[in-house]
Amino acid sequence: MENVEERKNALKRGIKLLNLALLGTGGEMPMPNRFLSSVILNYQGRKILIDCGEGTQVSMRILKWGFKSIDIICVTHIHGDHIFGLPGLLSTIGNSGRIEPITIIGPKGISDAIKEILAFIGYLPYNLYIIENPKLPLNFSISSKGSKIENSNGNMNISALELEHSIPCIGYSFYIPRKPKFLIEKAKSNKVPKEIWNRLQNGENVNYKCKAYTPDMVLGEKRKGIKLSFTTDTRPIDTIADFINKSDLFICEGTYGDNEDLEKAIKNKHMTFSETASLAKHGNVDRLLLTHFSPAMDNPEIYIKNAASIFPNTIIGYDGFIDELSF
């Protein structure tokens, strides 16, 4: 990760950053050096949490990114190692002084699960907006002031994919669009008044002095944004490769490192390192970050060759791992 000064310089140059941290990389049960499944994303100073296993709050305390700015919680499925940290976290967020609503996205059954959680939490000073098993991409407008769902435009698109596990489970893809480059020469050649350059650059159609102007009169071609994809607790089904296609970072389960554990992986609806790496390869992703390790696997690094031989740009995750994506 870049140091603080490099990051400040990047921000001055207008480079957008999506920071992420692994709060827990374990599956099934927490271990002394490994909490249960949880990832946090930081964009525009606002937070998106993916799963909330036991130990999430402890990791967040160590990370010092704060609780109050969590706007969206994405739940993959309703197994304990992915949600048992949620009741305490929701209470802590309430104690932090938050009053703005929080959006919770999850698979079929998430609404009932949240109702059960709220039954023994009691009062929360903010509302929860539940989105169950979304079929279409969700468009969010995220700024330093907060996050809200938009009908179409937004600076963060969240998509979901149904996975193959023992209960309903979904994967997530997060995409930050990148605006086309503003071309001064193109604006001048189209005789676009400088007074409306900024509005056109922001995608607005403008009527100015009885003449219509459109963004394509000042902008270049579309540019690739940032894409991060996350799947866990699943078999390697065909639809995943298309879903994660061209991700800058693919975070995926690596429950079993040893290829000899394939039979266990099939039985328990999980994946081996080799299977995960094959998905990364077929999905044309830039990097693969492995997480969600079985408690029987003390040192996942021992098995990294099983993934790296198929997909060289593989990283073994650990609690406290921090990374950032930028353009």
CATH architecture observed for domain 17-180+222-319: 4-Layer Sandwich (3.60)
Give domain limits for the chain. 17-180+222-319, 184-215
Coil, helix or strand for 259? helix
**Closest residue by Cα to residue 55 from 257, 324, 320:** 320
Task: Using the predicted structure, report yes or no on whether residue 301 has a pLDDT greater than 50.
Answer: yes
Question: What is the per-residue pLDDT across 174-203, written as a single tens digit (0 to 9) for each?
Answer: 999 988 889 999 999 999 999 999 999 878
Task: Tell me whether residue 81 is one of the annotated catalytic residues.
Answer: yes
What is the pairing mode between strands 223-231 and 170-178? Answer: antiparallel
Could you identify the residue written with the tokens 């676009």?
A: 192
Question: What is the per-residue pLDDT across 55-90, written as a single tens digit (0 to 9) for each?
Answer: 999 999 999 999 999 999 999 999 999 999 999 999
Burial 83-114 (b: 16+ CB within 10 A, else e): bbbbbebbbbbbeeebeeebbbbbbeebeebb
**Closest residue by Cα to residue 306 from 268, 280, 269, 327:** 280
pLDDT reported for residue 2? 40
Task: Using the predicted structure, report yes or no on whether residue 166 has a pLDDT greater than 50.
Answer: yes
Question: What is the per-residue pLDDT across 222-279, written as a single tens digit (0 to 9) for each?
Answer: 888 999 999 999 999 999 999 999 999 999 999 999 999 999 999 999 999 999 999 9
d(CA 203, CA 290): 38
Q: Apex CA 128: angle with CA 74 and CA 131, to 5°?
A: 50
Q: Apex CA 89: angle with CA 87 and CA 95, to 5°?
A: 110
Which listed residue (51, 71, 81, 233) is catalytic? 81
**DSSP code of residue 167:** S
